[in-house]
């Protein structure tokens, strides 16, 4: 099995309305530089999945998911899962999606 990984970032807001009282500041929309790392499977070793095309597709899907620069109430894990589904709909065999907040905290979806 051959894996191809692409990385990109998107600046957007999200919120957690159900945050506990000691993290109540997370209830309001707040910004992050979300780092996105997508790994897909391929059956060939000669650019069957081109890095630049994968990044373009990831960025396009993130634009659909956060058209007003907001992921709404989605956590990193939810963003990762939704992105994996959207890319699978484009015929990618998604192995893993990692979404980070400001290069510190990561939520992962894995096949």
pLDDT at 46: 82
Question: What is the pLDDT of the chain when averaged over all its residues?
Answer: 96
pLDDT in tens, 25-72: 999 999 999 999 999 999 878 888 999 999 999 999 999 999 999 999
Is 4 strand, coil or helix? strand
Average pLDDT over residues 75-99: 97
User: Taking a C-beta distance cutoff of 8 angstroms, is the pair 38, 100 a contact?
Assistant: no
d(CA 91, CA 110): 17
What percentage of the chain reaches a pLDDT higher than 90? 93
- What is the value of pTM for the model shown? 0.94
Residue 77 has pLDDT above 90, yes or no: yes
- Domain 2-110 in CATH: superfamily? 6-pyruvoyl tetrahydropterin synthase/QueD (3.30.479.10)
Token couple for 26: 């997370």
Torsion of CA 45, 47, 90, 92, to 10 degrees: 30
pLDDT at 81: 98
């Amino acid at each position: 099995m051959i894996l191809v990984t692409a990385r990109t970032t998107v600046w957007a807001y999200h919120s957690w309305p159900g945050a506990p009282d000691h993290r109540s500041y997370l209830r309001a929309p707040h910004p992050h530089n979300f780092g996105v790392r997508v790994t897909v499977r391929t059956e060939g070793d000669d650019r069957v999945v081109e890095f630049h095309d994968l990044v373009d597709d990831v960025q396009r899907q993130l634009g659909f998911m956060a058209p007003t620069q907001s992921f709404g109430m989605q956590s990193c894990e939810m963003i990762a899962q939704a992105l994996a589904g959207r890319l699978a709909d484009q015929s990618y065999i998604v192995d893993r999606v990692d979404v980070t907040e400001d290069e510190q905290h990561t939520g992962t979806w894995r096949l």
